[in-house]
Amino acid sequence: MAEKEIDKLSGVETTGHEWDGLKELNNPLPRWWLWVFYATVVWSVIYWILMPSWPMLTDYTRGIRGQSQRAVVMQEVDALKTLRAEKGAGLADADLAEIQQTPAMLEFAMANGRSAFGDNCAPCHGSGGGGFKGYPNLNDDAWLWGGSLDDIHQTLLYGIRSDHDETRFGDMPAFGRDELLTPDEVFDVANYVHSLAGMDTAADANLEEGKTLYMDNCAVCHGDEGKGMREVGAPNLTDGIWMYGSDLDTIVDGINNGRGAVMPAWVDRLDPVTLKSLAVYTHSLGGGE
- Interface residues toward ligand HEC, by CB under 6 A: 117, 120-121, 123-125, 135-136, 138, 143-145, 152, 155-156, 160, 170, 172-173, 175, 189, 193, 217-218, 220-222, 232-235, 237, 242-244, 251, 254-255, 259-264, 266, 278, 282
Q: Which is nearer to ligand HEC, 199 or 242 (CB)?
A: 242
Of 5, 47, 2, the closest CA to residue 26 belongs to: 5
Name the minimum Å distance from CB 228 to ligand HEC: 8
Residue 210 in contact with residue 194, Cβ under 8 Å? no
Q: Which is nearer to ligand HEC, 51 or 199 (CB)?
A: 199
How far is residue 216's CA from residue 201's CA, in Å, rounded to a whole number? Answer: 20
Residue 200 in contact with residue 257, Cβ under 8 Å? no
Residue 170 in contact with residue 231, Cβ under 8 Å? yes
Name the minimum Å distance from CB 206 to ligand HEC: 14
Q: Which is nearer to ligand HEC, 88 or 136 (CB)?
A: 136
Name the minimum Å distance from CB 155 to ligand HEC: 5
How far is residue 242's CA from residue 248's CA, in Å, rounded to a whole number? Answer: 12
How far is residue 213's CA from residue 211's CA, in Å, rounded to a whole number? Answer: 5
Name the minimum Å distance from CB 111 to ligand HEC: 15
Burial 89-99 (b: 16+ CB within 10 A, else e): ebbeebebeeb
How far is residue 243's CA from residue 239's CA, in Å, rounded to a whole number? Answer: 11
Phi-psi region of 281 (alpha: psi -120 to 50; beta: other; left: phi over 0): alpha
Q: Which is nearer to ligand HEC, 105 or 186 (CB)?
A: 186
Name the minimum Å distance from CB 253 to ligand HEC: 9
Q: Which is nearer to ligand HEC, 123 or 183 (CB)?
A: 123
Determine phi and psi for 28, rounding to 5 degrees: -70, 155
Name the minimum Å distance from CB 198 to ligand HEC: 14
Collapsed DSSP state (helix, strand, coil) of residue 172: strand
DSSP-derived secondary structure for 174-204: -TTTTTSS-HHHHHHHHHHHHHHTT----TT
Q: Which is nearer to ligand HEC, 54 or 132 (CB)?
A: 132
Name the minimum Å distance from CB 276 to ligand HEC: 11
Q: Which is nearer to ligand HEC, 108 or 151 (CB)?
A: 151
